[in-house]
Amino acid sequence: MINKIAFVFFTALILQSCSSVKEYEKEKINDPDMKLSARTAERYETSFQVYREAAAGANGGKSGGGCGCN
């Protein structure tokens, strides 16, 4: 399992050499809707999902602890 994850991780790392977008070319990438994270107002949905589902984590937020939830 750890080998597969490492493979994905380093493959993704290698991808960086494929592209180099200059700062002045990032108008679209810097659009607020392009952020690679959950929206601020999404936090309550994430919270109820952590209670109602067994899975958590890998979304940039908490993956467990801090509540009497699953």
Partner 1 sequence: MKIKILSFFILLTTAAFAQDKEPVFKKRVLESTEVDFLTSYYDQNGSRSAVSGGIGSEKLTDVASNIVVAMPLNDDDVLTIDLGISAYSSASSSNINPFNSTGASAGGGGDDDDRVAGGKVVALGPSGTPWQASSGASRSDQLVSVVANYSHSSDSRNFIWNTDVSFSNEYDYTSVGFGGGIAGLFNEKNTELSLKVNAYLDQWRPIYPTELHEYSKYGSNFLNQGYFNGVTVLDQNGQSTANYLPSAFQTINAVNRNSFSASIGFSQVLSKKLQVSVFFDVLQQQGLLSSPYHRIYFADKANFYIGQAQYINNYESTSNAGVYKLADDIERLPDSRFKLPIGARLNYYINEHFLLRTYYRFYSDNWNIQSHTATVELPVKLSDKFTVFPMYRYYTQIASKYYAPYETHLSTEKFYTSDADLATFDANQYGFGINYTDIFTASKVWKFGLKNIDFRFNHYERSDNLKANIATIGFKFVMQ
* Angle at alpha carbon of residue 49, lines to 44 and 52, rounded to 5°: 130
Rounded CA-CA distance 70/60 in Å is: 18
Is position 41 an interface residue for partner 1 (rule: CB under 8 A)?
Answer: yes
Does 44 help bind partner 1 (rule: CB under 8 A)?
yes
Instruction: Decide: is 24 part of the binding site for partner 1 (CB under 8 A).
Output: no
Q: Which residues bind partner 1 (CB under 8 A)?
A: 1-3, 5-6, 8-9, 12-13, 15-23, 25-26, 28-29, 31-37, 39-45, 47-49, 51-60, 62-68, 70
